[in-house]
Each structure stands twice: as C-alpha cells, then as structure tokens.
Amino acid sequence: MIYLERKPAAALAGCVEMLWFACAPDLPHQRELVLPGGKIQFVISLAADHLTHCSPEGDVPIAPALLVGARTSAELVATRDMKRLVGVVFRPGGLGPWLRERADLFYEQSLSLSDLRPMGFVRDRVREEGSTPENALRVLDDVLCERALAPERRTHVVRALSLLRSRSVGETARELGISERRLHHVFTEDVGLSPKQWSRVRRFQRVVRALHQGVEMRWAELAVVCGYADQSHFSRDFHSFSGIDPTTYAASRGRWQNHVAM
C-alpha cells in the first residue's frame, strides 16, 4: 500500500487542507464504512473508469471522479476502488469560495466532477501527466491553482469555525455581532453543514480520534472529556453518525481513523 499527502500550494492554502494519493491494489474486496468528518472532498479514480456506490441492495458503478459533499451519516465504499486514487480535502468553508458555488447544495451527495463545468477535465490531466504518485499530486495541485483566483472566504464563517470550538451557536453569534439566523445562513452556505451540525460532527470526531489512538477510558469518562452531557448522549450521537457503537469501532479500527472494515 502507498499513501501520500501533500500540502497545497500557497495560492490554495486558504481553501484546501491537503491533497492525497492512495494505491492499494492488493486489498481484499470488501466494504468499508467511512465516517462523517464534516469536510468536502474530491475523490478521483486513476485506475478504473468508475467508482462504486454501495448500498444494501448491491454495488453500482458510478462516475470515476466525484465531489463528495459534507455528511452527517456514514457512507459505504468498496475497497476495490482503492487501486489508485487521488483526492482533495477542502477546508471547512473552502469549497464554496473556490468553486464559486454554495457548499450546502452538495450536502449528503456525491456528484460527478464532469457535472461541474470547470472540473470535468481534472481526471484526464492527472492520468496523462501523473506517472508517479508525486507527479499525480503535483499535477492535481497545478490544476487546482489554475482556478485559485477565488473570492475571499467570509470573515464571519472563518471566525465562527474557530469560536464554535469552545462556544455554543448562540454565544458565537453574539460574539460575531450577528443574529443566529444570519450565522446559520452564511455558515451553512459556505461549510455545507449548519453551525449545530458542524459542532456535533467535531465532537463526534474527538471521540473517533481518541478511540483510534486506543485511549483506555470508561465510556462515561470519555463522554465528558469529549463534551457530551452523559454516556447516553454520547452513545446516541455516535450511533447516529456512524451506524455502529463505540465498542464495534474500537474493535475494528484500522489504518485510517474514519474507515471501518465491514
């Protein structure tokens, strides 16, 4: 297995968190559960002419290059898609200004990049010029930079993302000097999740990170440390986002924090 990450060029740093490359052609065919992280991604297959939509009814081939919107529910993926992939992880609130489109339009959706007018050529460019993992990431970075002249991210959204780490939605709105309704509107448009959803996903991810690192702590104690009112609240939230319980996650964790073998 090969896995690489690359920081974006300076022109993209305000909108893009990282670019990644994965090559795992020998993985046994199975499904993996991908947990919601609140961020929007591009996922591009360089090996096959399709990715796979997994559902209880079966697997269906879909477009080979996708925009995966922000989610609050887990998604099944097929490990056979991981033969050779590249991806882009956008910063919260970064896609909207860069793509000049509202991020909330992509909530819980996976759309073909070919349906997004300026992005249909991305996969072809990376396949043609990215002969090595490093080259593939460089070409992807270059392609993204060609569209880097985007409007600045909204100050209210950038500040809200920071304030919501330690404040409630109401407190954040008051700190910004705007109404909760206005905060909800601008935040949801740019991030793809409402402020409340974003705060819940962040809290869930604190738990996932702790479990992935193998923390040894009683569930009730972990719940309080991660910001939950009690263990019952913690358990309900974890199952709501992942479809599994914390014990199952802890027993099934693998290389990637947000991937669980099924």
Hey, how many other C-beta atoms are within 10 angstroms of the C-beta on 171?
12
Tens of pLDDT, residue by residue over 56-109, are 888 999 999 999 999 999 999 999 999 999 999 999 999 887 888 899 999 999
- What pLDDT was estimated at residue 246? 93
Tokens standing for residue 247? 């014990």
115 burial class (0-12, 13-18, 19+ CB within 10 angstroms)?
A: exposed
Q: Packing angle between helix 169-176 and helix 195-212, nearest 10 degrees? A: 120
Model confidence band, residue 42 (pLDDT cutoffs 50, 70, 90): very high
DSSP three-state, residue 105 = helix
Q: What is the pLDDT of residue 118?
A: 67
pLDDT at 151: 62
Q: For strands 65-68 and 110-112, give the pairing.
A: antiparallel
The model's pLDDT over 133-191, given as tens digits with 9 standing for 90+, comes to: 999 999 999 999 887 665 678 899 999 999 999 999 999 999 999 999 999 999 999 99
User: What whole-number distance in Å separates Cα of residue 190 and Cα of residue 195?
Assistant: 11
Report the DSSP beta bridge partners of residue 260: 33, 253
Mean pLDDT over residues 219-224, rounded?
Answer: 92
Q: Is domain 2-145 annotated with CATH 2.60.40?
A: no
Asked if 19 and 141 count as a contact pair (C-beta separation under 8 A), the reply is yes
Question: Packing angle between helix 155-163 and helix 180-191, nearest 10 degrees?
Answer: 100
Tell me the C-alpha distance between 242 and 76, whole Å.
11
Mean of the per-residue pLDDT values of the chain = 92
Going by DSSP bridges, is the β-strand pair 16-23/51-55 parallel, antiparallel, or unpaired?
unpaired
| pLDDT score for 149 | 63
pTM equals 0.92
Helix, coil or strand: residue 96: helix
* Span 124-133, pLDDT tens digits: 999 999 889 9
pLDDT, tens only, 14-23: 899 999 999 9
Q: What pLDDT sits at residue 6?
A: 96
Could you state, in order of their start, the residue ranges of all structural domains in the chain? Answer: 2-145, 154-253
List strand residue ranges (DSSP E) for 104-200, in order: 110-112
- Taking the CA atoms of residue 180, residue 185, residue 191 and residue 192 in that order, the dihedral angle to the nearest 10 degrees is 120
Strand partners, 6: 19
Right CATH number for 154-253 from 1.10.10.60, 2.60.40.1180, 1.10.10.10, 1.10.150.120? 1.10.10.60
Percent of the chain scoring above 90 in pLDDT: 76
* The pLDDT of residue 256 is above 80: yes
Q: Is the pLDDT of residue 49 over 70?
A: yes
